[in-house]
Amino acid sequence: MLTTHPFDDDKLREECGVFGVHGAEGASAIVALGLHALQHRGQEAAGITSYDGKDFHTHRAMGHVAGNFDRDDVIRALGGDVACGHVRYSTTGETALRNVQPLYADLSSGGFAIAHNGNISNAATLRRELVRRGSIFQSTSDTEVIIHLVATSNYRTLLDRFIDALKRVEGAYSLICMTREGMIACRDPLGIRPLVMGRLGESVIFASETVALDVVGADFIRSVDPGELIVVTSGNEIRSHRPFGDHHPRPCIFEHVYFSRPDSIVDGTSIYSVRKAIGAQLAIENPVQADLVIPVPDSGVPAAIGYAQQSGIPFELGIIRSHYVGRTFIQPGDKVRHLGVKLKHNANRALIQGKSIVLIDDSIVRGTTSLKIVQMMRDAGAREVHMRIASPPTRHSCFYGVDTPEREKLLAHKLDIEGMRNFIHADSLDFVSIDGLYKALGEQQRADIRPQYCDACFTGDYPTRLTDLDDHDTGDQLALLAERVV
């Protein structure tokens, strides 16, 4: 059977990445390259929609960008100089082609395509209202709620109808939309999910991360501001709208910890540099006597470098990762399933044997990966295994577009740190503090009132209403919220 790799079911995962191009010859080929760079943000499905001035064209498929969009016939069929694309994970909801984005609809004003990164936390409430009024849904995605809100708005222009729709939704969104008139890009008023703008020659590009601009050779212009709506029309004319008033931004702090690629720039700061600073802060707060600092690859590498530099303990690659193992593989039986752990990570036994080591990872979610890694180190002859985590304990679920297990499955919700240490069988276990994380990001500490980031997964301080979660009387609403497929 096909199943998730043992190391892939114990990470917080971004649910998607978006990329759009306006005014470039062969726009769909550029989008495909951009999606390659964003593949880490969603590896279950990908899609591209283009517009050639007359017709919209869409290709959506399960699986990676490579294999689906590296064929000439597919790209040729996606003609036009305007295109947008999407890579996605599903969560506990349905993995099906009908949920793959961009989603497309023929509205009264013409074709409308949308690619969404985030999660609408009142989607179930809105969906129930729309269905009652006669809307017919084709997917289980919360993104389709936005399309129906646009379609049923009483405003005259499409832009006003789109703004009207967004004023009714709660939660997190970075959106790239295509119409016959051009492209619209926007972020939610708190800027929880990222979105940047660049230029490739005269064409305008939007992407979830700056690394996607780098890959296609585009110049970074700036981040799309929280609550900003940017319209690009013929001739690549850019107009900025701010229809949501002033809000205190709360971008997702986990972009810095794990989600974004290390070579991306977020809020003007190098992700790689921030992760090294987190590692250094972790060493200041939680020192230990050891022979080696070893990262859990690949996400723990920058923090481990920072920890090693701050502590003076040598950095070594004590775990070797195979980059030729996909997310799924055949596991016929428990014995082979257990051995499959070593397909992706294997201990560097000659280095580890007889040593006291510090393992650095970005987070602990369910704890199953940490348990396996610690045991792998002991099997390789490690004398002591100390675990250090480059984020605070993850005690709360995310409702803003991150694939988080139910809170009851989070190890830090069930156990204190000593209990977690016992669970993973480490000699010691420590996490960077919430104030330490903010220090690594250049802040003095976390503000008690109006903190600078969304850190709800650590603190439980959710920056928006969670309407669907609060409505405990409607099972269907809670089920749709739990799906969180975007």
Helix (H, G, I), strand (E, B) or coil at 474: coil
Backbone angles phi, psi at 102, to 5 degrees: -65, 145
Helix (H, G, I), strand (E, B) or coil at 323: coil
Q: Of 3.30.1360.120, 1.20.1050.10, 3.60.20.10, 3.40.50.10470, which CATH number belongs to 14-250?
A: 3.60.20.10
**Minimal CA–CA distance to 212: which of 36, 342, 360?**
36
Helix (H, G, I), strand (E, B) or coil at 178: strand
Query: What is the chain's pLDDT, residue by residue, as a tens digit (486 residues)?
Result: 333 444 455 666 656 999 999 999 999 999 999 999 999 999 999 999 999 999 999 999 999 999 999 999 999 999 999 999 999 986 434 668 999 999 999 999 999 999 999 999 999 999 999 999 999 999 999 999 999 999 999 999 999 999 999 999 999 999 999 999 999 999 999 999 999 999 999 999 999 999 999 999 999 999 999 999 999 999 999 999 999 988 999 999 999 999 999 999 998 899 999 999 999 999 999 999 999 999 999 899 999 999 999 999 999 999 998 777 654 434 445 454 455 556 678 999 999 999 999 999 999 999 999 999 999 999 999 999 999 999 999 999 999 988 777 899 999 999 999 999 999 999 999 999 999 999 999 999 999 989 999 999 999 999 999 999 887 544 443 344 434 434
Question: Annotated catalytic sites, by residue?
Answer: 16
Residue 341 pLDDT? 55
Backbone angles phi, psi at 145, to 5 degrees: -60, -40
Largest CA distance in the chain: 73
**Minimal CA–CA distance to 209: which of 17, 31, 69?**
17
Length of the chain: 486
The first and second tokens of residue 40, run together, are 């880490």
Rounded distance, CA 256 to CA 316, Å?
A: 23
Q: How far is CA 40 from the centre of its chain?
A: 8
Where does CATH 3.40.50.2020 sit in the chain?
270-450
Residue 14 pLDDT? 59
Where does CATH 3.60.20.10 sit in the chain?
14-250
The first and second tokens of residue 243, run together, are 């229809």
**Long-range contacts from 427-431, C-beta under 8 angstroms, 24+ separation:** 427/384, 427/385, 427/386, 428/288, 428/386, 428/387, 429/386, 429/387, 429/388, 429/389, 430/282, 430/285, 430/286, 430/387, 430/388, 430/389, 431/282, 431/286, 431/388, 431/389, 431/391, 431/392, 431/393
Rounded distance, CA 403 to CA 260, Å?
A: 15
pTM for the structure as a whole: 0.91
Q: Which strand (E) or helix (H) includes residue 111?
A: strand 110-120
Contacts of 383 (CB under 8 A, 6+ apart): 354, 355, 356
Residue 7 pLDDT? 47
Ramachandran bin of 477, using left for φ above 0, alpha for ψ from -120 to 50, beta for the remaining angles = alpha
Q: Which residue has tokens 């005014």? A: 23
Rounded distance, CA 339 to CA 462, Å?
A: 40
Residue type, 464: T
Pairing of strands 196-200, 219-223: antiparallel
Q: Which fold has domain 270-450?
A: Rossmann fold (3.40.50)
The first and second tokens of residue 473, run together, are 């009387």
Rounded distance, CA 137 to CA 461, Å?
A: 32
Locate all alpha helices (DSSP H) within 228-270, ordered by sequence.
Answer: 254
Residue 406 pLDDT? 84
Instruction: Decide if 177 contacts 232 (C-beta within 8 A).
Output: no
Helix (H, G, I), strand (E, B) or coil at 125: helix
Backbone angles phi, psi at 166, to 5 degrees: -70, -30
**Minimal CA–CA distance to 240: which of 141, 308, 159?**
159
Residue type, 282: L
Instruction: Decide if 81 contacts 25 (C-beta within 8 A).
Output: yes
Instruction: Decide if 53 contacts 80 (C-beta within 8 A).
Output: yes
Within 10 A of 232 (CB to CB), how many other CB atoms are there?
Answer: 25
Residue 326 pLDDT? 56
Q: Which residues pair with 345 in a beta bridge?
A: 321
